[in-house]
Homo-oligomer: A and B are copies of this chain.
Amino acid sequence: MRKALAVRISAFGPPVETVRCEEIELPDLGPDDVLVQMKAAPINPADINIIEGKYGQLPELPATIGNEGAGVVAEVGSSVTRVKPGDWVRPTGGGVWSSYLVLNEKNVLRLPQGIAPDQAAMMGVNPPTAYRMLHDFVHLKEGDWVVQNAANSAVGRSVIQLSKSLGIKTLNVVRRADLEPELKSLGATAVVTEDCDLRKEIKGITGGTLPRLALNAVGGDSALNIANALATGGTHVTYGAMSKLALKIPNALLIFKDIQFRGFWLTRWWKTATSNDVDTMYDTLARLSITGRLSIPVEKVYPVTEIADAVRHALQGERSGKILIQF
């Protein structure tokens, strides 16, 4: 019986205290299965929320957790044709924080040539969220503006980089003014701090054009601030709730300014995505990643045996990049 080292929870609760690294037994390799030796996985806000039991879809317990990562194919079943030992792959389901995984070959995606494994490990959640939000709500044209908060997050940085590649201008709201040079080097058009009253300042910042899309990962006052920057008929998309505060929406924004407030959840998108949608998106993301135009910074790498420290670090607000787990 083959064994693996996995990050498990047996109850939902405070993340640092709840995660355990433990040995599990792997199932036998069926003819359609591949054995993947996982190499790296990031800790995303969704992983934290699942451990806390505060997410739209929760696993049955006890469970191995983790929503994305990358690894190398170690062995394949007798009928497997899509991948071979030595190929780099990304699992497409959940429960991937494990040194080895036995997966049906349909549930792994082969990585494109030339992509860095750490970047590939982070390609399943944040860049696709940015990509979908820029494509699925408003038909944006070159020169249009998008406004977002949490602009220094992995999604925020992906929004900046993808927008730049599309010729779309970004107004980026951050908590710390010292992030401006870094975000501008990624392609941010403008960077302001949370205390900037966008209702008053927006036209000065953009030269008169009003954004047609607002992307919100914070909630509360910050969500309203970016809504107030929108043009009449604009769309406001919530994909995260870092402040844990509800949105407060003045009626006039709905009735007279015709702002639409919507939500985005990548898990839901996956349920109806066609393979063509998926391929088109990943081709674009991989091309940008390989050519250095899309990248997510890493703050620190922890071995899986130090998962509690890794989670504690991931919970800190002021990071310069993702926390990665190595197996």
* Residues of chain A having any CB pair with chain B under 8 Å: 55-57, 219, 238-241, 244, 246-265, 268
Contacts and interface: CB of A to CB of B under 8 A. Distances in A.
Nearest to A265: B255
18 contacts: A238-B255, A240-B251, A240-B255, A241-B251, A241-B252, A246-B250, A247-B254, A248-B248, A248-B249, A254-B261, A254-B263, A256-B265, A256-B268, A257-B263, A258-B262, A259-B263, A260-B260, A260-B262
A93 B262 CA distance: 33
Copies of the polypeptide in the assembly: 2
A251 B239 CA distance: 8
A263 B268 CA distance: 24
Contacts of A238: 251, 254-255
B251 A246 contact: yes
A249 B254 CA distance: 13
Given A247-B247, A253-B263, A260-B262, 16 more contacts: A55-B256, A56-B257, A57-B256, A238-B255, A240-B251, A240-B255, A246-B249, A246-B251, A248-B249, A255-B264, A255-B265, A256-B263, A256-B268, A258-B268, A259-B263, A261-B261
